[in-house]
Structure 1
Amino acid sequence: MMLAAAATVVAPRCPWDSRDDFLLLPGDGLILVDGDGVITYFDHRARLLMAREPRCRSGDSLDLIWPELAAAIEEHSDAASHLGPLDTRLTCGGQRRTVRLFRTDSGVGIVLLADRPAAPEASQEHLRMHERILQHIRDAVIVTTAEPVDPPGPVIVYANNAALRQTGYRLEEILGRSPRLFQGPATDPAALRSFHAALRHWQPVRQRVLNYRKDGSIFWVEIDIAPLEDSDGWYTYWVSVQRECEAPRRSA
């Protein structure tokens, strides 16, 4: 069964509104496709929001499942790469839905935005307060999706101002990418294996690692990573707090 769809780009989402700094939120669906349009990741929420049967899985061609979305990606992927995430309106299963397109390390990501009831003003102010706190603390904070752990994930969905200053990137340049963006030839493979093993087992981890800024300069950073679970006990994000530090001393 094909999904009839008609796409209209709403607008590039940059500069980002302070109330919409997260690339996706719990309840949104996530699809990742590679450069050939093959689905590499398709989560449960995306299946529900698309009203697809569970047969849709990694390895399927997006063009065969949702050809209009594939066409929208073909048309607007360059804009998403240069301007950051952008939104488009699609008709999916008879319902108009906002779809967010963004680049990843190896292709394109699609967020199916879930409908959300308007929050009371008190709740909105509470969220804005938390956002202001995150933006003004000195430690760099980066939030990624919980899955996929393997490339092109985990996907960066949030970075505070300290993280942008630390790395030299603009927000729209790192949203949708993975933290591998900050790694380079001199980054210790053993530290990366430690990160990967911890993420595989949903365990917090702390490591000192050599990272790279946008301009190619290097800096040492101590990274604390912990999983964040929702009210149902499901892990939805990884939260990384990063502090610049001195290089480890070599043993005599």
Structure 2
Amino acid sequence: MTAPTPLIAGNWKMNGLAASLAEAKAVAEGAKAARARVAICPPSVLIERMSRELAGSAVAVGGQDAHAEESGAYTGDVAAEMLADAGATLVILGHSERRATYGETDSLVAAKVKAALRAGLEPIVCVGETLEQRKAGEALKVVTGQVRGSLPADLAGKAFAVAYEPVWAIGTGLTPTTPEIEEMHRAIRATLVEMFGEAGRAVPILYGGSVKPSNAAEILHADEVGGALVGGASLKAADFLGIVNAV
């Protein structure tokens, strides 16, 4: 089975106003010959405008979270169907910031994945260990457990990605060593094959956590790394393109 096409996804988190759309347009212009799929996940209030700005380009637009229900009395939340209606084609789910700050569990993330599929969105499901868990030698057990708990059987035959983002590396400037990244990605791959058979070999496994142009090439060419989930470096087109072009 051929290796999955790499995916480079930018997570703008709670950053970006209308003026920031110029950066997205610059990414689309610079990514015309990219060897990877490219996506930007802006705040939900920018999704519709960004989708219009990037229409016809090779850059997809995604959401950063979605509620498990299609509609209801959930003030402030956004349904997967709303993201799709606004022009999104992907959605990040289970990001460590959601797990840590909002107490999201594997079962809730799995329910959100089902919602994304219901709305026709491609989920990017995040997993990762804390520094304490790594120091305790529990990283592999924790992360593979998150994979099993967060990926419902409904994903069989569907397009999705898994993003490994060690919690202690997000926004800190710290990154695991290349052998540590490869060890984790191999463990995730083995778990995906265990869960989904040979189809599990076609799922891109992204690395996330302080990815920047200076370290992108080394990370992206590591064994079983099928792309990157990029935080702060995705806010500026020049930095993001430096990562996209490192594939």
- State the TM-score, normalized to the length of structure 1: 0.24
Asked which structure has the greater RCO (Cα within 8 Å, sep 6+), the reply is 2
Higher helix proportion, which one?
Answer: 2
Higher strand proportion, which one?
Answer: 1
User: Which structure has the larger Rg over C-alpha atoms?
Assistant: 1
- State the TM-score, normalized to the length of structure 2: 0.24
